[in-house]
Amino acid sequence: MSTSFTQNLIAVQQRIHEACQRSGRQSTGVQLLAVSKTQPASAIREAFAAGQRAFGENYLQEALEKIAQSADLAIEWHFIGQLQSNKTRPVATHFDWVHGVDSLKLARRLGEQRPAGKAPVNLCLQVNISGETSKGGVAPEAVPALVEAIAPLPGVRLRGLMAIPAPCPPGGDPRAPFHAMHALLSRLQKTHPELDTLSMGMSADLDAAIAEGATIIRIGTALFGPRNPTPSQTPADKGMS
């Protein structure tokens, strides 16, 4: 898998570079997050050897096992699944980033449970930018108040926003939801200039996301190939990538 991952990594990095060039951006401003859910710890080791450093996991129990098996590697771990409040302690303990926070309660628990001596855990608020009832996230109009409530909390560092827009309909503008996300972040930055992150864009829409200012792109299959069968999950482990 090493050779194929390296080739896939180069191809994805090239696609990011070209998208940034078309948008007049520096590719150094876009972080590639390798979504490694359902992949074995051996695949993460090989990806690390190829130069990848940031990995995203959806399923908590599976992730904790891989984190333990990869403890000797300097990996930046991102939790990108839907998180229930009774599962926050292991996430606060073992992850560097949490994408998908959608309530003050979750943010407060993550901060309170962050181990002493560790840097604050980085948070991205999940925005339900397409208004889908099947997805979690905060309505755009509710985001400013939630930012004001979370920003001063100890143990966490609010970094920005994340979203998973609905698939673009035929004839639609694939950039529209990402444009709305960028506009929302820009408004927030007037009072919170420390917010610097837009986590949005996957394999199918990374070009549109980068054109609208994405700073973290979440890529899975294009890097690792077809996913292994999904492991058994508890409701709290179900998530998105």
- Flag whether pLDDT at 199 surpasses 90: yes
Render pLDDT for 144-190 as a digit per residue (tens, 0 to 9).
999 999 999 999 999 999 999 988 888 889 999 999 999 999 999 99
Render pLDDT for 225-241 as a digit per residue (tens, 0 to 9).
877 665 544 444 443 43
The three-class DSSP label of residue 176 is: helix
Mean pLDDT rounded to a whole number for the chain:
92
Predicted pLDDT at 3? 60
Q: How far apart are CA 178 and CA 175, in angstroms?
A: 5
Superfamily of the domain at 2-219: Alanine racemase (3.20.20.10)
Q: How far apart are CA 32 and CA 21, in angstroms?
A: 16
In the chain, % helix, strand, coil (3-state, to 5) comes to 40, 15, 40
Residue 138: partners with Cβ closer than 8 Å, 6 or more residues away:
102, 125, 126, 127, 128, 146
Residue 98 bridge partners (DSSP): 79, 123
Render pLDDT for 81-96 as a digit per residue (tens, 0 to 9).
889 889 999 999 999 9
* Stated pTM of the model: 0.92
Q: Which two tokens stand for residue 64?
A: 């904790």
Average pLDDT of the residues in 11-36: 96
More confident residue, 227 or 105: 105
Render pLDDT for 62-73 as a digit per residue (tens, 0 to 9).
999 999 999 999
Render pLDDT for 114-133 as a digit per residue (tens, 0 to 9).
999 999 999 999 999 988 87
> CA dist 134 to 7, 68, 165, Å?
35, 33, 12
Predicted pLDDT at 187? 98
